[in-house]
A and B are shown apart, each in its own frame.
Chain A
Amino acid sequence: MSQEFWLFILMVGVFAAGCFALKWPVSVSMLVASVAGALAGGVQDPVRHLVEGTFGYVDTILTIATAMMFMTGFKDSGALEALTAAVIKKFNKWPGILMILLTFVIMVPGMITGSSTASVLTAGAVVAPMFASMGMTAVESGALISIAAILGMIAPPVNIPAMLIGGGIDMPYVGFELPLILLTFPLAIVFALWFGWRKVRHVDRSKVLASLDFSTLNQYGGWRLFSPLILIFVLMILDKAVPSIFGLGMPLIFMLCTMLTWITGKRFNLLQSAKKSIEDVLPVLGILVGVGMFIQIMTATGVRGFIVVNALSVPPALLYVMIAISIPLFGAISAFGSSSVLGVPFMLALLSQDQIIAAASLSLIAAIGDFMPPTALAAIFAAKVVGLEKYGTVLKKLVVPTLIIIVYAILFIVFSKQIRAVL
């Protein structure tokens, strides 16, 4: 076995020991694993490499941080609760459509921030009591919230795993919208009906309607309350359509709309809200910093090249099996890390396919990593918001959906050229 192989085992081993045995945060475990790899691999000037690695995702960190500020402000202004109430009021008589729209509501924060945690902690927390009052069990609610969160994380406009995979092969994050919509929204509809519709259609929803608080919606009106969210989508479209005039960039768009939430709904302490958002999202930001260091050291020691060479030499028959197994499993470390460390080499092996559809599909498989213990970010936070002590029961419910998502994504890769011909 080569030195790179043993270095890889060492780094993953130190990381796993930090996470499992010592119960360190994922980010700190990554830092320690990177230090161990740098020392064992004889990297010259290791501190410089570690610091250099932290810069890998600074722009992504800014986008996620400001997006989370917006989502927390949107929630604190009462708009998120009002949005859910408005959806239930409007579609109360059609349980199927209601469940689908509530699932889309959970997806929105993930779509904007690129983080499943944001979806679960903001919209997931608001929708969870409503799922319970509509007759869904805590386990079913937790499972649906987890799935909606990871689908939101992959749905456009912001998909960090796709950005990481694209960054690894110098492919700009352009033209991903339609493939990502086709990859995520049909699955969201299927799982919304699967988990929710069967239960909800038998429940007397008039009680749910009576329990909703419409005071904020009535006081401020829908247009005013939801205007920051509408403005975000308008500015994002203009940012892409006329970048010379509206090229504001995502962080500035989120900051402007965060300030707007302060005047469009209930008044709240903007500073405390912003601080709370950073506190909630720090573990995700830390993981990004850790992944940056981890990958920098893997690159400096030759471990990354070793993985790329091995991924490229996998026989074609085994390639899809390897993708389906290794990318989600590596997600136990981090879905973002999995995208970068394994997603890029597999993307290189798939260059003969339509590259945008292949990268989008790989990002969906990588997102499954958020279901993988011990980190299992989506499942752990979803279990918390539905009031479950342990997330194991939620994970069991996620086994079949996970397999369906992986098969769906693999089919997209296999038939990427045919799909592109239709798009």
Chain B
Amino acid sequence: MFYIYLVILAAVLALTVWVLFDTKKFSLQMTAAMVIVPLLLRLLMIK
């Protein structure tokens, strides 16, 4: 179950990164960047 959880986390992270680079709206880019931080650290199991 732990690895399935990580796969779901990776999928959400990948989609957020996609939005970050695809959108032209600066506010959405900032928000995406904020959301990426905890997702990435959790995926790397740093925290």
Using CB atoms and an 8 Å cutoff, list the residues of chain A in contact with chain B: 24-25, 27-28, 31, 51-52, 54-55, 58, 61-62, 65-66, 247, 249, 251-252, 255, 274-275, 278-279, 282-283, 285-286, 289-290, 292
Contact = CB atoms under 8 A, between A and B. Distances in A.
A58 B42 contact: yes
Nearest to A26: B31
Interface of B: 1, 4-5, 8-9, 11-12, 15-16, 18-19, 22-23, 27-28, 30-32, 34-35, 37-39, 41-42, 47
A47 to B, nearest CB: 11
Contacts of B39: 58, 61
A76 to B, nearest CB: 15
In the A-B complex, the 3 residue pairs with the smallest Cβ-Cβ separation, listed nearest first, are A286-B31, A54-B38, A278-B15
B19 A55 contact: no
Given A54-B34, A62-B12, A282-B35, A251 B5 contact: yes
Given A55-B42, A62-B12, A65-B12, A28 B34 contact: yes
Contacts of B1: 247, 249, 252
28 contacts: A24-B27, A25-B27, A25-B28, A27-B31, A27-B34, A28-B27, A28-B31, A51-B37, A51-B38, A51-B47, A58-B42, A61-B12, A61-B39, A62-B12, A249-B5, A252-B4, A252-B5, A252-B8, A255-B8, A274-B15, A275-B18, A279-B28, A282-B16, A282-B28, A282-B32, A285-B31, A286-B31, A286-B32
Contacts, number: 86
A31 B1 CA distance: 33
Contacts of B35: 61, 282, 285-286, 289
A286 B28 CA distance: 9
B23 A279 contact: yes
A283 B27 CA distance: 9
Contacts of B22: 275
A55 B27 contact: no
Contacts of A66: 8, 12
A51 B41 contact: yes
Contacts of A52: 47
Contacts of B15: 65, 274-275, 278
B38 A58 contact: yes
A247 B23 CA distance: 36
Contacts of B11: 255, 274
Given A66-B8, A274-B15, A278-B12, A290 B34 contact: yes
A372 to B, nearest CB: 20
A283 B34 contact: no
A283 B4 contact: no
A54 B37 contact: yes
Contacts of B41: 51, 55
Nearest to A277: B15
B42 to A, nearest CB: 6
Contact of A278 (B9, B19, B47): B19
B34 A55 contact: no
Given A25-B30, A283-B28, 7 more contacts: A51-B47, A61-B39, A251-B8, A252-B5, A278-B15, A279-B23, A285-B35
